[in-house]
Amino acid sequence: MVVSSMEVAAGKAARAEQASAGFPAARAAPDPEVRAVAKRRQFSAAYKLSVLAQADQGSGAGAIGELLRREGLYSSHLSTWRRERDAGALEALSRRGGRKARSTPEQKRVAALEAKNARLQRELEQARLIIEVQKKLCMLLGLPTAEDKPTGSES
């Protein structure tokens, strides 16, 4: 059984017409316009403070909603910015997200040495505390301490 290409094309057209008969939107041509890639908005500290000032001055019913619609913001923006402002983090209002800058090998070495120094300081403080506890225990039990023992030159 050999099927001609015209019969195949007619069958495809009939199936396409049946499939889209109940759905007029399915026959619409796709939108040829190329959409721009969305870009994350960044707000300066001055802008955030001015929007907060306008929101705080809003006296009428729906004033804040009008401000949010006009500026294209969400109420979560206001709550986050207020929290940052109240914490006194003006620098945080204008901070930028993203990856941190890469550090040089020298900066990595300095950071490692500072961490090691801090660890050794903690260990030294712990050792001093243990020695103090041992001295007090010896005093309570009446045992001689290293400070009480005579040295070899005094005999």
86 found inside a domain: yes
Structure confidence by residue, pLDDT tens digits, 68-90: 999 898 989 989 888 888 887 65
Which tokens in the block code for residue 112?
A: 């490692």
Contact 41, 53 (CB under 8 A): no
Q: How many Å apart are CA 129 and CA 149, to the nearest integer? A: 21
**Structural domain boundaries enclosing 66:** 45-93
pLDDT over threshold 80, residue 21? no
Q: How many domains does the chain have?
A: 2
25 found inside a domain: no
65 found inside a domain: yes
Structure confidence by residue, pLDDT tens digits, 101-145: 788 999 999 999 999 999 999 999 999 999 999 999 998 988 887
Residue 66 has, within 13 A of its CA and on its CB side, a CA count of 8
Indicate yes or no: pTM above 0.75: no
12 found inside a domain: no
